[in-house]
Structure 1
């Protein structure tokens, strides 16, 4: 069982990551607006399966790496921080794209919606960073079995991400109309998320080594 403070901190990080525009959000919003709320929720089911796949693979891999390779954690930490800085720049750079600037999509079957949601998540580097670089920071030897801690943290991330993405899928049309009429809100969203990601990246870079 991870320490309560670590669990809470990881939950907050998971919330910050899920509300940051990325491939999953873009795909779910696109599907919900172009094909309806039901299509958005079916796509979300595929995204959720992708989370489970990553969680199981990462939990087993993290356990092996942390026990076998002293510098593995730092390699993941630095790589994760570099990618977070890239995401922050994508949000803050002039002309940065809003997830509500969408392309038209042709209607797909339920099976294809599910599989596309699954594949979109598997190919999403932000999720790889979440499980391979961020999650290890919240594991504590004092909390007991590392694998059990990884699974509990993973389920926490999945619960938060699925809940937030379900709200986004169900309200995508209303949110898009709101931001189109109020472009300043879209700019504020990008700056807030970019600042959060940049701060988290710097925290990761300057964290003390664990060996």
Structure 2
């Protein structure tokens, strides 16, 4: 069990990183404004499921292998970027929404939203960098059970991320209700959402394994 000082230091540092909007936050905001608060919260659950995958991988050394291998990191980076860009192109070039079509068409399933959120974060190299470069600073080998310490901090980070991302989802969901009644917004919504996804994909492409900082 990590000491109290390390836990408090980790909470402070992680909170600062989490409240600054990054790819995960922007993804949640987009989901919430598109389909409401519930969809935003489901996307948060998916994203945090992806965070758990990274935490477990870090605990057993997989993230270290990814960071040490340029090819493995590149594959992760390009897969994540490609998926985000695909979502963006689908929004921009797909059928555009109108107030009537929103009422007539069934919303995207919560299961699909969950899995999309999970895939986005599993393929997010920024998350891998976080667990490889940031989290180890709070691990004390002298206390033993390094794997347990990594899992502890990973779970703590996941809980904190769920709270902060969930707050963004709630706020964006309320804003989305107003936006959905705005005819001008409906005309631009597909392009705005699509450009956000594509921008996140391009941001992912810019990630380098040598960076030591991370934004969630």
Task: Please give the TM-score of this superposition, normalised by the length of structure 2.
Answer: 0.59
Q: CA, structure 1 residues 34+161, in 2 after alignment: closer, same or farther (shift >3 Å)? A: same
Contact 1:23 1:120 in 2 (8 A): no
2:44 maps to 44
1:157 maps to 157
1:19 maps to 19
Shift of 1:174: 5.5
Q: Are residue 125 (structure 1) and residue 125 (structure 2) matched? A: yes
Task: Please give the TM-score of this superposition, normalised by the length of structure 1.
Answer: 0.61
1:197 maps to none
2:111 maps to 111
Shift of 1:3: 2.1
Shift of 1:175: 7.0
Runs of 5+ consecutive residues of structure 1 not aligned to the other structure: 76-102, 178-200, 206-211
Query: Deviation per CA, 1:155-189, whole angstroms, max 9, x where unpaired?
Result: 11011100111111011256799xxxxxxxxxxxx
2:30 maps to 30
Mapped partners of 1:11, 1:173: distance in 2: 27
Contact 2:55 2:154 in 1 (8 A): yes
Contact 1:62 1:132 in 2 (8 A): no
Mapped partners of 2:62, 2:42: distance in 1: 30
Q: How many residues get paired?
A: 148
Shift of 1:62: 7.1
Structure 1: which 4+ aligned runs deviate by more than 4 Å? 103-107, 173-177
Contact 1:25 1:165 in 2 (8 A): yes
Contact 2:43 2:117 in 1 (8 A): yes
Contact 1:43 1:116 in 2 (8 A): yes
Runs of 5+ consecutive residues of structure 2 not aligned to the other structure: 69-90, 98-106, 179-209
Shift of 1:19: 1.6
Q: CA, structure 1 residues 174+38, in 2 after alignment: closer, same or farther (shift >3 Å)? A: closer
Mapped partners of 2:138, 2:46: distance in 1: 27
Contact 2:28 2:169 in 1 (8 A): yes
| Equivalence map 1:188-203=2 (5 Å) | none
Shift of 1:130: 1.2
SS of the residue corresponding to residue 21 of structure 1 reads coil
Contact 2:60 2:147 in 1 (8 A): yes
2:88 maps to none
Mapped partners of 2:123, 2:23: distance in 1: 9
